Amino acid sequence: MKIVVIGGTGLIGSKTVAILRRRGNEVVAASPKSGVNTITGEGLKEAMAGSEVVIDLANSPSFEDRAVLEFFENSGRNLLPAEAAAGVRHHVALSIVAIDRTDNGYFRAKVAQEKLIEGSGIPYTIVRATQFLEFFGGIADSSTDGDIVRLPPVLFQPIAADDVAAFVSEVAIAPPRNGIVEIAGPERAPFNEIVARYLKAVGDRREVVRDPEARYWGGRIEERSLVPLGEARRGRIGLDEWLRRSRAA
């Protein structure tokens, strides 16, 4: 089966491409570096030709509110019609748990991406994941003031990129659900505690302070603002196992 992975050079994209190739699929790792750009439209028609499944794992180069919204809107407006014209039978996209009940600029842009997919007429599956363990450094940096990292004690259930790529690959070769599947990591713990464990393990001396008023990417969050509320598939790799694998790599 021919599968196009938009953002196939990224963190999740490169792992997903490798899994699907190992299973014998013809996989195109599409990204600006390989001449496929969903913002300019470059290379889209050629990449789509003969493809049955498209997996969108692209991410915005800028996380500034307006830039990220424009990225996901413009990208969807170019990509989805190109897929429809080529007769693609399944569009898979990676989104984020709780984007429609937790407010920040990045989440609003992901809601816009999902709406375009739902209105496209192309059979689809949206995989909503919790935060990636690989994203912890960025989270700590965005919440740092001097040597202090301020984080609220809300529930957090991060997932490893390897688990995300495995779920995305499984969904891509299954029939479209025309709906959302949620995935999360195996451990649920207070946000401040799990990030403190991570920083300590990697030798980062910043102190994590429990601050119920601290915001997440500028938005207020409550106890269950970042975790799945209903049934979610769980990955196998928790923080300790992820640290062990990272050290061994």
Ligand X SMILES: NC(=O)c1ccc[n+]([C@@H]2O[C@H](COP(=O)([O-])OP(=O)(O)OC[C@H]3O[C@@H](n4cnc5c(N)ncnc54)[C@H](OP(=O)(O)O)[C@@H]3O)[C@@H](O)[C@H]2O)c1
* Binding segment toward ligand X, per CB under 6 A, in 18-26, 124-132, 167-175, 221-229: 124-132
Q: For the stretch 119-137, what's the b/e string if a residue is b when 16 or more beta carbons lie within 10 angstroms of its beta carbon?
A: ebebebbbbbbbbbbbebe
Instruction: Determine which residue in the list 41, 135, 177, 180 makes contact with ligand X, applying CB under 6 A.
Output: 135
Instruction: Determine which residue in the list 17, 20, 27, 38 makes contact with ligand X, applying CB under 6 A.
Output: 38
116 contributes a contact to ligand X by CB under 6 A: no
10 contributes a contact to ligand X by CB under 6 A: yes
144 contributes a contact to ligand X by CB under 6 A: no
Nearest CA-CA partner of 156 in 102, 106, 193: 193
Q: Which residues, in sequence order, are CB contacts of 151 under 8 Å at separation 6+? A: 139, 143, 191, 192, 195, 208, 209, 210, 211, 214
Q: Which is nearer to ligand X, 54 or 207 (CB)?
A: 54
Instruction: Determine which residue in the list 96, 149, 168, 194 makes contact with ligand X, applying CB under 6 A.
Output: 96
Beta strands 148-151 and 144-145: pairing type? antiparallel
Looking at residue 219, what DSSP letter applies? B
Instruction: Determine which residue in the list 94, 196, 221, 232 makes contact with ligand X, applying CB under 6 A.
Output: 94
Structure tokens at 234: 């769980």
d(CA 73, CA 19): 28
Q: Which is nearer to ligand X, 90 or 162 (CB)?
A: 162
57 contributes a contact to ligand X by CB under 6 A: yes
Residues at the site binding ligand X, with contacts judged by CB under 6 A: 6-7, 9-13, 31-33, 36-39, 57-59, 61, 94, 96, 110, 129, 131-132, 135
